[in-house]
Amino acid sequence: MADPTIPMNKATTTLPLADVHLQDIPGTWPLAWGWWLCIIIGVTALSYLSRLLFRKIKQHRASKQAQHEAKQQLKAMAQTTQLGDINELLRKAALSYFPRQQVAGLTGQRWLSFLDQQLPPKQQGFLAYSDVWQQGLFSPNGLSEDELMQCKKLASNWIICALPPKPNKHVTDNASVDNTSASKQEQQDV
């Protein structure tokens, strides 16, 4: 209700004021620098984890394939009657797991030593049977059944226990012992 003491024409006059405008709600774009930093860290971490995951999957596939090939090699080894075939299977298996530069040039005692180095000390035996291996590989007479069975046993044990290679203490210890004995042998020869 209007006050009767105020004249009507003064109550209806308006002041020259502008309408009140509220500010817009702040938008999410452009993002603040802290959000950019979080995005960069998140993308970097995600790419690193995905790279690790793909690498692990690739290694797992290679390991499964190698285990399958090792089983096939063991089956083939059971049927062979020549030590040369067994030696070839061991060399193929070693070349699939170890660097080519490390394995390809090994022959004779160095090859048998390499095979022994990949096994725990209790399971080693290639150097102990080195004469049998040399006879089986190069002699026209071949090996007896017992000698061939022992060589098959050593080879299958090596495929089962040494593959895939694991960073074991016995490998580095034997390698250092072999290097020490080789350097002593070289000093005596000079």
DSSP-derived secondary structure letter, 12: S
User: Which pLDDT does position 187 carry in this prediction?
Assistant: 45
User: Which pLDDT does position 189 carry in this prediction?
Assistant: 44
128-164 per-position pLDDT tens digit = 888 888 888 888 777 888 888 888 888 888 888 887 7
Cα of 181 vs its chain's centroid, Å: 32
| Full-model pTM | 0.55
Number of other residues whose CB lies within 10 A of the CB of residue 72: 11
Selected residue with higher pLDDT from 190 and 47: 47
Q: CA dihedral defined by 181, 182, 187, 190, rounded to 10 degrees?
A: 140
User: Which pLDDT does position 3 carry in this prediction?
Assistant: 61
Residue 40: pLDDT above 90? yes
